[in-house]
Amino acid sequence: MIRTDRLILRPWRDADLDGLAGMLADPEVMADYGGPLDRENAARKLDRYRDAYERQGFSRFAVTDPDGGFLGYVGIMPVDSGHPVGPGVEIGWRLARRAWGQGLATEAARASLEDGFARHGFDEVLSYTEPTNLRSQSVMRKLNLERDAARDFETVNDGHAWRGLVWVARP
C-alpha cells in the first residue's frame, strides 16, 4: 500500500469491481482506448492486475480517497516480449471523470514510480498514450518523463487499432 497526501494506492479487492466497471463503462474515460468496456472485461482487467501483483509484487493499484472512495487505477505493469516495446515495464493510469483536473493522476503516478524504482530497482519505466490523449501527455510532462519517439508503435488493443507515443521515466 502506498499513501500520498490525498490518495491511497493499494492492491485490488473484490469490492472494487463495481467502481472499476463503472469507470471503464464511461465513454469519455475510455475515449482513448477505443470505447467503453463491459463488466466482464472489467473483471478480466481486475484479475490481470491481481495476478501481476501476486506474481511480481507490482501492478496497477486501485486508487482511492482516504475514505475508501474508488477513484481509478495507477501503477506499473510488465510488458511482455510480444508487445512492440517489450519486454519491460510500463506505468499507466485511468481515473474516473470526477477525479480529473485535480492533479491526482500525477500524484498517484509519481508515488507509483518512486515505489517501483525504490522497491524493484527498475532502470526505466515506459509510459505510452494515444496521440489525441493530451491529458495523459500532460501528466507525463509533469512527471518529467522523456519523450522517445523512436519507440512509438502501433498495435491492436482489445480489438481496436491503437497507436502509442512512448515516454520514459528513469530513476
Domain residue spans of the chain: 2-169
Would you give the distance in Å from CA 98 to the centre of its chain? 17
From its phi and psi, is residue 89 left (phi > 0), alpha (psi between -120 and 50) or beta?
beta
- Band the pLDDT of 158: cuts 50, 70, 90: low
Return the C-alpha cell found at 143: 512527471
- Distances in Å between the Cα of 51 and the Cα atoms of 47, 54, 60, 152 are 6, 5, 10, 27
How far apart are the C-alpha atoms of 126 and 46, rounded to whole Å? 21
Whether this model's pTM surpasses 0.85: yes
d(CA 97, CA 92): 16
DSSP three-state, residue 121: coil
Average pLDDT score over residue span 136-156: 96
The string of pLDDT tens digits covering residues 45-74 is 999 999 999 999 999 999 999 999 999 999
Q: Report the C-alpha gap between 22 and 9 in whole angstroms.
A: 19
One-letter amino acid at 42 equals A
CB-CB neighbours of 60 under 10 Å: 27
Q: Are 129 and 93 in contact (CB under 8 A)?
A: no
What is the mean predicted confidence (pLDDT) over 87-109? 97
Give SS3 for 87.
Answer: coil
Give the chain's mean pLDDT: 95
Which CATH code is given to the segment(s) 2-169? Answer: 3.40.630.30
